[in-house]
Amino acid sequence: VALLLDTDVGLLFHLFALMGMGVPVLLLSARLSPTAIEGLLMQTSASAILASPRLTRTAKEALALHTSPNATPRLHIAEPFQQFLDKPMPKSSSSICHEGHYVADTDRNVVILNSSGTTGLPKAI
């Protein structure tokens, strides 16, 4: 899942939640061009992009450039982080992960960053 979010505590909420579920995360800078974002989405085979409302237009432009034969990543709009603070979350004793999701507690704790792109487009690291 690619995160194209404003730099605030909401980014940490989403990053930690995805990593806690064992989902590899691609962190995208708000300063990247739609072309650079699309290239990183293709390199990493991201299945979804979570964008803040302010960056939705950039995300849509990147997805419009998607030419891979693989499925186009789905765009989801992130809720403001204040929403997580303002209302109590229901408690559940069950796990949201399916049985056998993890091989170990440290399995798939992955954050994908990118190079600066000074020699062309950014590369996933």
| pLDDT tens column, 68-121 | 777 899 999 998 878 777 777 777 776 666 666 555 655 657 889 998 888 889
User: Residue 102 falls within a domain, yes or no?
Assistant: no
Dihedral sign computed on CA atoms, order 37, 113, 123, 66:
negative
- With 0.85 as the threshold, say if the pTM is over it: no
Among 14, 23, 27, smallest CA distance to 97 is for 23
The predicted-structure confidence for 3-39, as pLDDT tens digits, reads as follows: 999 999 999 989 988 887 778 999 999 999 999 999 9
Rounded mean pLDDT of 31-50? 95
Where in the sequence is the domain holding 55, given as residue range(s)? Answer: 2-85+107-112
Among 115, 87, 84, smallest CA distance to 16 is for 84
User: Residue 62 falls within a domain, yes or no?
Assistant: yes
Total domains in the chain come to 1
User: Residue 98 falls within a domain, yes or no?
Assistant: no
State how far the Cα of 38 lies from the Cα of 24, in Å rounded to an integer.
17
User: Residue 21 falls within a domain, yes or no?
Assistant: yes
User: Residue 118 falls within a domain, yes or no?
Assistant: no
Evaluate whether 43 touches 124 at the Cβ level (below 8 Å): yes
User: Residue 66 falls within a domain, yes or no?
Assistant: yes
Q: What is the pLDDT of residue 97?
A: 62
Q: What is the pLDDT of residue 41?
A: 95
- Interacting residues of 106 by C-beta distance below 8 A, sequence separation 6+: none
CATH number at residue 20: 3.40.50.980
Q: What integer best gives the mean pLDDT of the chain?
A: 86
User: Residue 31 falls within a domain, yes or no?
Assistant: yes
Which residues are paired to 77 by β-bridges? 51
